[in-house]
Amino acid sequence: EVQLVESGGGVVQPGGSLRLSCAASRFTFSTYWMHWVRQAPGKGLVWVSRINSDGTTTNYADSVKGRFTISRDNVKNTLYLQMSSLRAEDTAVYYCARVSMLAVPGAFDYWGQGTLVTVSS
Amino acid sequence: QPVLTQPASASASLGASVTLTCTLSSGYSIYEVDWYQQKPGKGPRFVMRVGTTGIVGSKGEGVPDRFSVLGSGLNRYLTIKNIQEEDESDYHCGADHGSGSNFVWVFGGGTKLTVL
């Protein structure tokens, strides 16, 4: 079965940086668009960013534009989210999600288990 | 971009039925919406997509037949029949908007379903 495993979360001070990773396996990673979605404690889901299959097209939520960078390594089958100038409001569990190509194009058909980022002094 | 509104909570007795609602903001009545189920401490799971005429495409992997959807006006509904304990979860609706550099994905605030 498809596997997405996030890592890299932790506690960081305001203004600091962190890089999240999402290791993909059991599917042809290089052919899928991927997204990052976050969820603050006790809150709903919030879309963060997306990247196309070859990494040439990216989009960001206004709240992270200019501070976060999404990228991918299709040789290592890994998705990344480089986060900088972190703020308290970036505190959340960050999920990576795969975009369906067949059954329901555009839907997030597989999600990881998430990694927690806490921005606090 | 659309705003998706969901009630914060819902409840239903074991074996009963419940309908969860996701309401699109005015002007977005043709939009399709995805439903996701999320259990505590887990990543979300795709349930199905709903448009104005009902389900779009197929259900997510392993989603029981007890789950169905309906679309009407600005509302997108997820109905669960014969509710089981394992259906107790948070349910999120979401939709994409725009294309190219204007692309965004929006989610509702989520509904916490309690099975009594």
pLDDT at B47: 97
- Per-residue model confidence as pLDDT tens digits over A36-78: 999 999 999 999 999 999 999 999 999 999 999 999 999 999 9
State the DSSP H helix or E strand holding residue B10, giving kind and residue range, or none if neither.
strand B9-12
A and B: number of Cβ contacts within 8 A: 64
Tell me how far the alpha carbon of residue A83 is from its chain's centroid: 10
User: Between chains, do A50 and B103 touch, taking CB under 8 Å as contact?
Assistant: yes
Taking residues B15-21, what's their average pLDDT?
97
pLDDT at B16: 97
Cα A46 to Cα A73, B12, B110, distances in angstroms: 24, 27, 11
Give the Cα separation of B25 and B27 in Å (integer): 6
Q: Assess whether pLDDT exceeds 90 at residue A102.
A: no
Chain A: give the shortest CA distance to residue B45, in Å.
Answer: 7
- Per-residue model confidence as pLDDT tens digits over A80-96: 999 999 999 999 999 99
Cα three-residue angle B2-B8-B12, rounded to 5 degrees: 125
The beta-carbon neighbor of A46 closest among B58, B60, B107 is B107
User: What is the sign of the dihedral through the CA atoms of A51, A56, A60 and A66?
Assistant: positive
Confidence of residue B54 (pLDDT cuts 50, 70, 90): very high
Taking residues B38-49, what's their average pLDDT?
96
